[in-house]
């Protein structure tokens, strides 16, 4: 009889322990192929999906996943692989250059005071582009980009992000890679202004810095910084090596940031 009671008590204690250490997380953003383990199978993840933090998630190449814990902590993953969710929320140190450059980008994105260059980005070229920036695309894409710019200027960065992404798609459909790249870059800044690095990185991955014209150095630095921050270190390294070798950076501040970031990867 006592044995049965001990077994029952052990089962209860195990259940309590499991509930103590396991907590639900929610998907706040996903782009590309991301899955969560469900028994012996894998289930595709979508926005607002909830699952146990003791489970594992799997990302394919090019995917970005942002998940939020009950305590408000947010984690973004952007490198292919399989990860135990609990381990992702453990404190990790970040390379100083990543923190510094990301801070500059966030300051720029939120419309803070700007020097002549912030993270190598001239104010007139980033976040607050002139209307002529969008020349070369269709009238519809130009109008969408202008609407996005107006939304960003009024402080509605969430709306601006959506409109810039729509504009980028329209430029792609119009075979205008430069318009698409510049829209994607502006979308990334709007996303950062809403504190979503995941959306910012996903936006930058939709185009190529090579197509961004005068913005290519700024684009490359932002893409490399966010890639490194969210685990895609190899991608960041290859991009920075290419950008530095091809002299994409027009000013010494941007070049110094790029070299500092690369040295720590």
Q: What is the DSSP secondary structure assignment for residue 121, as one 8-state letter? A: B
Spatial strand order in the sheet of 24-31: 50-52, 24-31, 64-69, 74-77
pLDDT value of position 137: 52
Is residue 215 within 8 Å of residue 134, measured between CB atoms? no
Domain extents for the chain? 2-88, 96-263
pLDDT value of position 23: 83
pLDDT value of position 110: 84
Is residue 106 within 8 Å of residue 120, measured between CB atoms? no
pLDDT value of position 15: 44
pLDDT tens sequence across 1-59: 555 554 444 444 444 444 445 689 999 999 999 999 989 999 999 999 999 999 999 99
Tokens of 236: 């960041």
In CATH, which of 2.115.10, 3.40.50, 3.30.300, 1.25.40 is domain 96-263?
Answer: 1.25.40
Q: Can you give the pLDDT of all 265 residues of the chain as single tens digits?
A: 555 554 444 444 444 444 445 689 999 999 999 999 989 999 999 999 999 999 999 999 999 999 999 999 999 999 999 999 999 999 989 999 999 999 999 999 987 433 333 334 433 444 444 344 444 458 899 999 999 999 999 999 999 999 999 999 999 999 999 999 999 999 999 999 999 999 999 999 999 999 999 999 999 999 999 999 999 999 999 999 999 999 999 999 999 999 999 999 9
What contacts 240, CB < 8 A, 6 or more positions away? 220, 224, 258, 261, 262, 265
Angle at 249 between CA 98 and CA 251, to 5 degrees: 95
Sign, Cα dihedral of 161, 179, 114, 152: negative
pLDDT value of position 3: 52
Sign, Cα dihedral of 224, 180, 200, 146: positive
pLDDT value of position 209: 97
């Amino acid at each position: 009889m006592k044995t049965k009671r001990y077994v029952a008590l052990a089962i209860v204690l195990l259940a309590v322990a499991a509930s103590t250490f396991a907590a639900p997380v929610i998907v706040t953003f996903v782009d590309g192929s991301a899955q969560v383990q469900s028994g012996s199978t894998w289930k595709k993840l979508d926005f607002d999906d909830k699952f146990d933090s003791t489970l594992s998630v799997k990302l394919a190449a090019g995917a970005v996943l942002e998940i939020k814990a009950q305590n408000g902590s947010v984690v973004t993953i952007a490198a292919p692989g399989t990860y135990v969710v609990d381990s992702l929320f453990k404190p990790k140190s970040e390379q100083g250059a990543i923190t510094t450059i990301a801070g500059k980008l966030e300051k720029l994105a939120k419309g803070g005071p700007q020097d002549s260059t912030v993270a190598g980005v001239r104010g007139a070229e980033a976040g607050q582009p002139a209307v002529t920036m969008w020349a070369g695309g269709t009238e519809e894409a130009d109008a969408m980009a202008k609407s996005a710019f107006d939304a960003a200027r009024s402080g509605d960065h969430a709306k601006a992000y959506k409109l810039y992404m729509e504009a980028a798609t329209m430029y792609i459909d119009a075979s205008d890679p430069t318009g698409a790249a510049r829209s994607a870059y502006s979308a990334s800044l709007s996303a950062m202004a809403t504190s979503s690095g995941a959306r910012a990185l996903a936006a930058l991955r939709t185009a190529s810095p090579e197509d961004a014209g005068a913005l290519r150095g700024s684009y490359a630095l932002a893409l490399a910084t966010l890639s490194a921050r969210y685990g895609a270190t190899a991608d960041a390294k290859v991009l920075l090596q290419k950008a530095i070798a091809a002299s994409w950076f027009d000013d010494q501040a941007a070049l110094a940031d790029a070299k500092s970031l690369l040295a720590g990867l």
